Homo-oligomer: A and B are copies of this chain.
């Protein structure tokens, strides 16, 4: 074996500028820093992030494909404002795909993955205490990454990751209610316990119920918002 084929020293493939921009924009929307309906002006974003219009526009196309921002031709972009109907659609899809992931995880995850998932819920519970939107999203992302990795369906994973950003956006307001937060953690623990038992059906049921509960909480804040 020559040194050339020794991958261990390979320098980490740094994310391209475009991806960084896309990621920062995603985060800005997920945390509510760019609120729903806000207009996004290319020139301003360029200055704000210190990149060229070329790179910025390519990044914007990604967010657009995710449904995170809306383009009105010749008028401009704005952060998508999620109607009640769309929100319901989002949660329907999320429940469906997350249910699939739950089944697959229960069926084929390794013991290590189950353990990792358990720990990530512990971590999530801690984050709830001294709260910050960023930390919360990071913790939840970790939980999902483990779940989706264990499920072993990369296509479903990709779709759920996208939806997840939109859900975060909705949750910014909705989950600040302490009640739902506690309950949510309980549901996740229950979920993990079903997975530890490899109980596919129970994991599925809990997962779907969990999403539906989250949907209910979110829908409440949305409908009040629209008054």
- In the complex, which residues of chain B have a beta carbon less than 8 angstroms from the beta carbon of A92? 100, 104, 153, 155-156
Please list the 7 inter-chain residue pairs (A to B) with the smallest Cβ-Cβ separation, ordered nearest first.
Answer: A65-B65, A89-B155, A61-B61, A89-B153, A96-B100, A93-B155, A93-B156
In the bound complex, how far is the Cα of B156 from the Cα of A86, in angstroms? 10
In the bound complex, how far is the Cα of B89 from the Cα of A92, in angstroms? 20
A64 to chain B, nearest CB (A): 8
Interface of A is mostly: helix
Verify if A58 is at the interface (C-beta below 8 Å from B): yes
- In the complex, which residues of chain B have a beta carbon less than 8 angstroms from the beta carbon of A153? 89, 92-93
Residues of chain A touching chain B, judged by Cβ–Cβ distance below 8 Å, are 13, 16, 54, 57-58, 61-62, 65-67, 73, 86, 89-90, 92-93, 96-97, 99-100, 104, 153-156, 158-159, 163
In the bound complex, how far is the Cα of B93 from the Cα of A104, in angstroms? 12
The residue in chain B whose Cβ has the minimal distance to the Cβ of A156 is B93
User: Contact partner of A154 among B57, B65, B86, B159, CB < 8 A?
Assistant: B86
